[in-house]
Amino acid sequence: MSQAPATDQRFILDHIIDFAEISRTDRFTDATPDMVTAILEGAARLSDEVVSAVNRDGDLVPARLENGVVRASKGFDRAYRAIAEGGWVGVSAAADYGGMGLPHVLATCVNEMLAGACLSLQLKPLLSQGQIEALEHHAPEDLKALYLPKLISGEWSGTMNLTEPQAGSDVGALSTRAVPADDGSYRISGQKIFITWGDSDLVPNICHLVLARLPDAAPGVKGISLFLVPKYIPDAAGNPGLANSLRVVSLEHKLGIHGSPTCVMEFDNATGWMIDGPGRGMAAMFTMMNNARLGVGMQGVGVAEAALQKAVAFAQERVQGKTPDGSKAIIGHADVRRMLAEARAQVFAARVIGLSCAKAIDMASATGKASWTTRAALLTPIAKAFGTDTGIEVADTCIQVHGGMGFIEETGAAQYLRDARITAIYEGTNGIQAMDLVGRKFADDGAAALTLIGEIGLAAGAAMGRLPDLATAVANAAGALEDATGEMLAMEMNDRFAGAVPYLRAFALVLGADAHLRAALADPGRLPLAKVMILRLLPACRGLLDTATAGAAGLYAVPVEALG
């Protein structure tokens, strides 16, 4: 079992992202150093002592559908109760409804720990948190008063219902219908697929957020509205009452996250209540999705951390061949050391990017300043894509460290790769994240991106006197990224899209190099890892930027028949 990275997170909060700036705002005065310590230490104990113990059982004994009810994996009931009763679902939720009201940065730290301990289970509170966020911002007061306290306490849980068989990333193609009823509610009918934790026996009620169309709705995304559809309709006392007209049709058989039930849901004139107003469904849902995208990025980081710790432990025990440094275990081999060091450098970089994004979210909500809002929007696709790519790549590398034993399921190394693989797909594929970065996030003529790149260049310049070699490399990479950003802005949109993925990766490497440079300045003990990031991983940035600015013509020049 892995150990929660609370120490590394605390270092990042104190020395890299300046968490104290959040604490100085009027909104987050309760986020004192003592409170941060209590949250990180408490979440670490929960992750290490309770949640990680069920990770393997969730893989070997998947959730199952019995007589219309989803039965959770062995031990999930006890672990979920510990999460709910500890108040961990509502770390950043409004205190008015029972939440802790703490910064999203701390909730992000907690979520990463829980994801590293057991991704399948952590998905359940993560989805509830997203629903809480959407209801806080968009729901009418009566729905907030009824549902938020139960969601925040973990007594009930939430889901997100977007995808349909014919409408995946193209949400505007959905066909689920919502017909007004005489009592102000709506009757929802349609089928949704890929609904994570769409049902379970862990809680007495499941609250579904469902995208659907009114009878007279406009086509496309403008005609989509959002509805809250509970499994059981609350009675006058707010307790689960009559069963709603919805059911789980089946569970998907997946590559990984076996303990997380992925449901096909059918709604047949189910009773629901509109969130926000007609045609405003996507705006409300994106409130949920944007924070979920950061959460998914940190899931990748959490899984990478767990996989890496397992690989390091194996490398310190496995004896194979004569090592150059005279040590008995394979960690003394240069290539094994390379894999582990590069993985550790990448995990740190991805963690900093995610927590920087969370800080921007907090500062935007605390200050109302547009600059923080745009910073959060810019970092969200990078945090999601690079975090999940890191989870997959590091888990894959750690199988390689295990050698043949990594390919054997009994060692548990393969589970991390199987579990992490979905994270690059859901909440918007990483290709969509990259296109969002060079599309919507460049709508300001690249001002937000260029501002951030400029800050990195200035920080590197300030470090020249102490770490000239590393600072020069970071400054040069930032300059190359700035030039490439200018080229991307001058391109037609499809040419941008052709290079979006390598551009996002290059941006993430520059952000990661900046993070490692700051870390080395704050703690000389982190200098060797900073050198790995800046001298071994950052050089890939130039090649990525060459690809990013190559345009789309060369791709379309390849005949379709040559691809088959």
Do 130 and 18 share a structural domain?
yes
> Residue 211's domain is classified under what CATH number?
2.40.110.20
Q: Report the CATH number at residue 464.
A: 1.20.1270
Confidence of residue 166 (pLDDT cuts 50, 70, 90): confident
Specify whether 31 is located in the same domain as 162.
no
Domain residues for the domain of 79 are 6-153
Alpha-carbon distance 473 to 459, whole Å?
12
**Mean pLDDT, rounded, for 219-225:** 90
Residue 420 one-letter amino acid: A
Confidence of residue 439 (pLDDT cuts 50, 70, 90): very high
> Residue 528 has what pLDDT?
98
Classify residue 463: in a domain, yes or no: yes
Domain assignment of residue 473, yes or no: yes
Q: Which of 132, 153, 174 is at the close of a domain?
A: 153
Q: pLDDT at residue 354 above 80?
A: yes
User: Which one, of 197, 223, 194, 202, lies nearest residue 211 by Cα?
Assistant: 223
Region 545-562: what's the mean pLDDT?
Answer: 97
Whether 165 and 118 map to the same domain: the answer is: no
In this predicted model, what pLDDT tens digit does every residue of 284-296 receive, in sequence order? 888 877 789 999 9
Give the pLDDT band (50/70/90) at residue 326: confident
Please give the pLDDT value at position 441.
97
Residue 47: give its domain's CATH number.
1.10.540.10
Distance (Å, whole) CA 254 – CA 444 = 40
Query: How many structural domains does the chain have?
Result: 3
Q: Rounded CA gap, 133 and 148, in Å?
A: 10
- Whether residue 389 is contained in a domain is answered as no
Q: Residue 118 domain-assigned?
A: yes
Cβ count near 260 (within 10 Å):
27
Q: Which helix (DSSP H) or strand (DSSP E) does residue 393 occupy?
A: helix 370-402
Tens digit of each residue's pLDDT (9 = 90 or more) over 7-50: 999 999 999 999 999 999 999 999 999 999 999 999 999 999 99
Q: 112 and 82, same structural domain?
A: yes
Amino acid 172: pLDDT: 77
User: For residue 554, which phi and psi values (nearest 5 degrees)?
Assistant: -65, -30
- Considering the domain boundaries, does residue 189 fall inside one? yes
**209 backbone dihedrals φ, ψ, rounded to 5°:** -95, 120
124 close to 200: Cβ distance less than 8 angstroms: yes
Residues 15 and 147 in one domain: yes
| Integer Cα distance of 548 and 518 in angstroms | 27
Length of the chain: 564
427 is catalytic: yes
Given a cut of 80, whether residue 334 has pLDDT beyond it is: yes
pLDDT digits (tens, 9 = 90+) for 248-275: 999 999 999 999 999 999 999 999 999 9
Distance linking the first and last C-alpha atoms of the chain: 43
Same domain, 501 and 548: yes
- Per-chain mean pLDDT for the chain: 96
Clarify whether residues 139 and 175 are in a common domain: no
Q: Which of 49, 136, 427, 492 is catalytic?
A: 427
Q: Which DSSP string do the residues of 83-116 spell out, in sequence order?
A: HHHTTGGGSSS-GGGT-----HHHHHHHHHHHHH
Domain co-membership, 148 together with 175: no
Q: Say what the pLDDT of residue 171 is.
A: 78
Pick from 231, 264, 279: which residue ends a domain? Answer: 279
According to the model, what pLDDT value does residue 514 have? Answer: 98
The pLDDT of residue 283: 85
Whether residue 373 is predicted with pLDDT greater than 90 in this model: the reply is: yes
CA distance 207 to 82: 20
Residue 399 falls inside a structural domain? no
Whether residue 334 is contained in a domain is answered as: no
The C-alpha atoms of residue 210 and residue 244 are separated, in whole angstroms, by 14
Record the tokens describing residue 49, joined without a space: 């002592």
Taking only the tens place, the pLDDT of each residue in 90-128 is 999 999 999 999 999 999 999 999 999 999 999 999 999
Mean pLDDT of all residues in 358-368: 97
What integer pLDDT is reported at residue 458 of this predicted model? Answer: 98
Q: Are 261 and 251 in contact (CB under 8 A)?
A: yes
17/146 same-domain check: yes
More confident residue, 282 or 247: 247
Q: Given this model, what pLDDT does residue 74 score? A: 95
Whether residues 113 and 166 fall in one domain: no
Q: Within a domain: residue 34?
A: yes
Same domain, 437 and 459: yes
The stretch 478-495 carries a mean pLDDT of: 98
Q: Is the pTM of this model over 0.85?
A: yes
| 226 Ramachandran zone, left/alpha/beta (phi>0; psi -120 to 50) | beta
| The pLDDT of residue 170 is above 80 | no
What's the whole-number mean pLDDT along residues 434-443? 98
pLDDT exceeds 90 at position 241: yes
| 424, pLDDT greater than 90 | yes
Is there a single domain that holds both residue 169 and residue 127? no
Q: Which of 153, 186, 208 is the C-terminal boundary of a domain? A: 153
Helix (H) or strand (E) holding 552: none
